[in-house]
Structures are given as structure tokens and as C-alpha cells.
Amino acid sequence: MRIATWNVNSVNARLPTVLAWLEQAKPDVACFQEIKCVDEKFPREAFESLGYNVETHGQKSYNGVALLSKHRLSDVRRGLPGDEADEQARYLEAVVEGPRPIRVAAIYLPNGNPLGTEKFAYKLAWFDRLNAHARELLKFEEPLALCGDYNVIPEAVDAKNPSAWTGDALFQPESRQAFRALKNLGLADSHELGDEPAGTYTFWDYQAGAWQRDHGIRIDFALLSPQAADRFRSIETHRDARDMDKPSDHVPVVVDLDLEA
């Protein structure tokens, strides 16, 4: 089973690009972040015409996540538990009913900038909620993939120019520690399982020629439970997608798992 994660940075603005990539890459499951539309404005029919079942958790102009699957989706959860007052659409989870089912979540973790504001506190609190929920999901002892834009640079090697990010919420000690704590629950980073080389980035800013100078960072991840990691086969970071027409500032990450019955 091919599971992709991609921050598409407005699905309607980049629909031809997204569709072209899907037709080329043919993932069985796709987790989108930053769809930037309410559920009613999501271009569902375009994806259904490619054979996907579609679930969304949208928000006007900001955030928003979607799950596309060639298999039926069940046990759908919209929103991360732990804060009933949180109105930001950043979490969508479902069971993909393939030959061997797998629970998949599309995650768009808060950016947290600027530092010293409630936005950074919200980021860390959201990380805490994700940690608590992941701990509960791991108790099921089932294949699980937590996929998305985590808005964290885990290590210096995950940035072309680490010094440029020292004042950014993505590279703060607290953010990095929260990410390590999540992994330490027993989740494996597909990037590490696949032994991808240093310099495998997933995001390049639109500004200051970051793409042309390869000033990238790695902030998009597919974290796997032990039951999914045992079935890991490969990972691909689709860098070429950044050269497509009207690209997102992120590129897709695709993980292959052996989930045959």
C-alpha cells in the first residue's frame, strides 16, 4: 500500500497540479494538509473520478486536512481530542479498509510563530494533545501511520542552513523535544527506516530563491507504529513536484507498506 502525505497549500488553487501528481504517483492513500477550504468547497468529484473515497475536515481560507483512499474509510475522526474549544481544522483520522486495515491520520501541526506569543504556546499544547492521543492509539497494537506537516525541524541535518532557523518556532528546543517525545512512544520515522540521505528536504520557501539555492528543510513525516514499521518497504520524497506548474512549497512523501492480507 502506497501512503502519501502532502501539504498542498490550497487544493483549489493547485488542483491541476495535485491531480497530475496523483495520476503519476498513484498512491492508494493520500493525506493532504492546508487544503484551505470548507468541506463544501473541496473538489471532491475530481478525486472521486480517480477512484478515491474522500473525507475532509476543512476550514475557510486556512488550515484544513483531507484523506483520500482507494479503499473504504471507516471510524472517521475529525479533530484532535483534548480541547473542545479548538476550532482549527488540523487533524483527520480514519481506518483504511484494505486487505489488511491500517489507521491513518492527516496532521497539520501549528506553525507556532512568532515566538513569545500564544501561537507558540498553542503549538506546544497541540503537540501534547497529539502525544496523548497517539499513546491511546498505540494501545490498539495495529498498523498506524501518523502522516503530515509537523512544522518541526528535528535535527540540524534536516535544514540546509540551520542557523537561519534558530529564531523560528520550527527549530526551538521545545518543538524538537516534543517531536522526540512523540517518536519515543514507539513511532518510527519512515525517513530513517528508508535510510534517506542527508539533504532530503520536503519544504522550500517561495521567497529569496530558497528552491533555486536548495535552502530546504524536512518537516513532513510519516510516523509508523511498530505493526506498520514491520511492514515498511520503501520511502520516496518526490522532490520533482516542486518543479511542477504552480507548485506547493512542500513536496509529497510516499511510503510503501506490505499490507497484503
Which residues are marked as active site?
108, 149
Using CA atoms, how far apart are residues 184 and 237, in angstroms rounded to an integer? 24
Using CA atoms, how far apart are residues 29 and 144, in angstroms rounded to an integer? 13
Using CA atoms, how far apart are residues 108 and 138, in angstroms rounded to an integer? 20
Q: Which residue has the cell 482549527?
A: 88
Residue by residue, what is the 3-state secondary structure of the chain? CEEEEEECCCCCCCHHHHHHHHHHHCCCEEEEECCCCCHHHCCHHHHHCCCCEEEEECCCCCCCEEEEECCCEEEEEECCCCCCCCCCCCEEEEEECCCCCEEEEEEECCCCCCCCCHHHHHHHHHHHHHHHHHHHHHCCCCCEEEEEECCCCCCHHHECCHHHHCCCHHHCHHHHHHHHHHHCCCCEEHHHHCCCCCCCCCECCCCCCCCCCCCCECCEEEEECHHHHCCEEEEEECHHHHHCCCCCCECCEEEEECCCC
Using CA atoms, how far apart are residues 78 and 65, in angstroms rounded to an integer? 9
